[in-house]
Structure formats: structure tokens, C-alpha cells
Amino acid sequence: MKMLGKILLLVVLAIVLLLSAAITLTVGWRPILGPRHRATNDRVFEPTPARLAHGRDVVNLAGCGICHTPRNWKERGAPELPGSTMMGQDFPLPGLPGRVVAPNLTPDPETGAGRWTDDQMARSIREGIGHDGRTIFPIMPYSAYHSMSDEDVASVIVYLRSLPAVRHALPATKINFPVNLLVRTVPEPVTQPVPDVDRKDIIQRGRYLATIGCGCHNPTEHGQPLPGTEWAGGEVLEGPWGNVTSANLTPDASGISYYDEATFLKALRTGYVGARPLNSIMPFGELQYVPEEDLKAIYAYLRTIPPVKHRVDNSLPPTYCKFCRRNHGAGDQN
């Protein structure tokens, strides 16, 4: 009996060790321990006219309104529904692992962000932890906003606080098991001050702006970047706007090497590349208000990145692409 007891104990120990090793080597312990996070503080971002104007620019670049503002997708450029700026919406996307709701960010105290503190909002935007401590589902691109400077995030919040409060109650997000646990690996705290990028360093500034504004052109897997695909497109975007795949922005023949600065500015502001219209999920309706100097910096940066061969052609039927591991037009040509 004693012998059997020992063997059993050893078997149990071996199973525990194997399981620990398996967890450590695969998803890690975050799904069990909870996300990396920091406590919020009571800082307040002083509202100034400069911050308000700048915050609007950052919000237009970052595309917050694509998700937080209900829009009319039937019309070109997907204009906002009247009076609905940042009032949130139940996300109409297929294939999500549960119900995902983009919250009401207007200052309404009952149904919006009126009672959330400035630092709670800053933490949500850059670090992926909601005002209530919950892990935010990473369709909200907080990993792309992680590098947002302290001044930019303060400006965004000052701008959001300036919007008319809209009473718009929404259901809560509810992510299914096991994705609700797996997403806990994504949040990352900001623990150091994040200064602005030097405006004179156009390439670095372009890189900074592209990271915040052009994230859909970096395919991800389980909320993490897919190595080797930076700016090479391939994210499949499906919703009320149709089904399109983000374009390759690298200076390869399969990317946008044929662009010049004027083509780039026109594409971002009007949604036309020559005569070819872009799908309205490309937020040209917002980007037209982003300062020209910022768009030019993004273009200058994109000229300096390594070319990546990755053909994406939304006029062709979707086929499997072994490069980005998705189905998209011209996928079989990669």
C-alpha cells in the first residue's frame, strides 16, 4: 500500500511538473494570474485649447471613431450617424469570440465615460485595462497605441471630454471561454514617461504616427504581431463595409513603390488611388483632417522601411496566402 501511495504521489508530481512546463512554454501564466497591469493614479489632464485641437488630430489619425462612432457604411466614406460621435456601438463584426461592444466614450455619467478618471482612460487606451480593471479585448488596438506619448494621450482625453454627452446605454462585452482568459496575455503597462518624438526628425515621427494610425496594415495573430509582416498588409477586415484585406505599404513592387508623395496624400484624403476607389474601412473621411505635415512624415517613413514581397489584390477572389496565413485576393500568388 505504502509503495502504491508513493507511486501515485510521483505520478501526480510528474503531471503537475509537466503541466507547469507546458503552460510556461505555451500561453504562459497570465491567463491564470491575470493581465500585467498597474494601479491607476489621480492625475488630471488640464484642458487647454491646444490639447483639444491636437487631441482631435490624434483621434482622427488613430481612427477611434471607426469603432466608437456608429456610421452609415452604405455611403462612401462611411459618414457618422448624426449626433453619434463616440457614443459607442455593439460591434457588428462576424467571427468574434463572443459579444464585443465598443463603449460610449462621451462624457455621459450614466452610460459613457463621465465617471471614469483621466488615468483610467489613459490606461485603457495604451495599456489595455478597462476602467473596471477588465482586460480589454484586443480588437481595440491598444498595443498599437502603447507607444502614444503622454502629451498625445492627454490631448485625446481632453478632446473626448469636450464632446457632447450622449446618453446611449450598451450591453457589456462578453468574450467566450477560453479566449476570455487568453487575452490576458496582451495588456502591457506603461511605467515610464513617454516623451514626444522630436518633430524635426521626420522619419522617427513618421514611424511614430504610422504605428498609431496604420496598425491594420500589420497582421497579428492572437493579438501579437506576426513576425516579418510589418507594414506588409494582409489583415482581413470583414464587416458592414464588405470584405477587404489591408494593403502592403512597403516599397516593394507588390506594395506601394509606384506611389509618390502626391499619390499618397490623395489616397489618404480622398480614398482614391488614381481612379481606383478604396473601401471605406480605410478611414479617408478622418484622415483628410490630419495635418499635412503628419501625413508627409508617414510617407517619408514608409519609404525607408525594407520592401516585403506580398501581393494583396482586393479585386481578386480570396485564396490562401502562406505568407500572412489568411485568405485574400492574390493570396495564391505569394
Cβ nearer to ligand HEC, comparing 121 with 226? 121
Cβ nearer to ligand HEC, comparing 68 with 71? 68
What residue ranges bind ligand HEC (CB under 6 A)? 59, 62-64, 66-68, 91, 100-103, 105, 116, 121, 124-125, 130-131, 136-137, 139-141, 145, 156, 173
Cα angle value 182/188/194 (rounded, 5°): 160
- Kindly state the cell numbers that stand for 287: 484622415
Least distance to ligand HEC, CB of residue 78, Å: 13
Least distance to ligand HEC, CB of residue 263, Å: 25
Cβ nearer to ligand HEC, comparing 63 with 219? 63
- 178 preceded by a cis bond (ω within 30 of 0): yes
Least distance to ligand HEC, CB of residue 306, Å: 27
75, with CB counted inside 10 A (0-12, 13-18, 19+), is exposed
Cβ nearer to ligand HEC, comparing 268 with 308? 268
Cβ nearer to ligand HEC, comparing 225 with 307? 225
Question: Which positions ≥6 away from 125 have C-beta within 8 Å?
Answer: 142, 145, 148, 153, 156, 157
Q: Cα separation of 237 and 261, whole Å?
A: 26
Cβ nearer to ligand HEC, comparing 209 with 308? 209
Least distance to ligand HEC, CB of residue 20, Å: 29
Q: Cα separation of 301 and 252, whole Å?
A: 14
Contacts 24+ apart (CB under 8 A), 324-327: 324/219, 324/226, 324/229, 324/232, 324/233, 324/234, 324/235, 325/221, 325/226, 326/219, 326/234, 326/235, 326/236, 326/245, 327/236
Question: Which positions ≥6 away from 26 have C-beta within 8 Å?
Answer: none
Q: Cα separation of 270 and 277, whole Å?
A: 9
Least distance to ligand HEC, CB of residue 124, Å: 4
Least distance to ligand HEC, CB of residue 73, Å: 14
Cα angle value 166/83/76 (rounded, 5°): 135
Least distance to ligand HEC, CB of residue 296, Å: 21
Least distance to ligand HEC, CB of residue 132, Å: 6
Cβ nearer to ligand HEC, comparing 152 with 232? 152
Q: Which residue has the cell 480622398?
A: 270
Cβ nearer to ligand HEC, comparing 23 with 165? 165
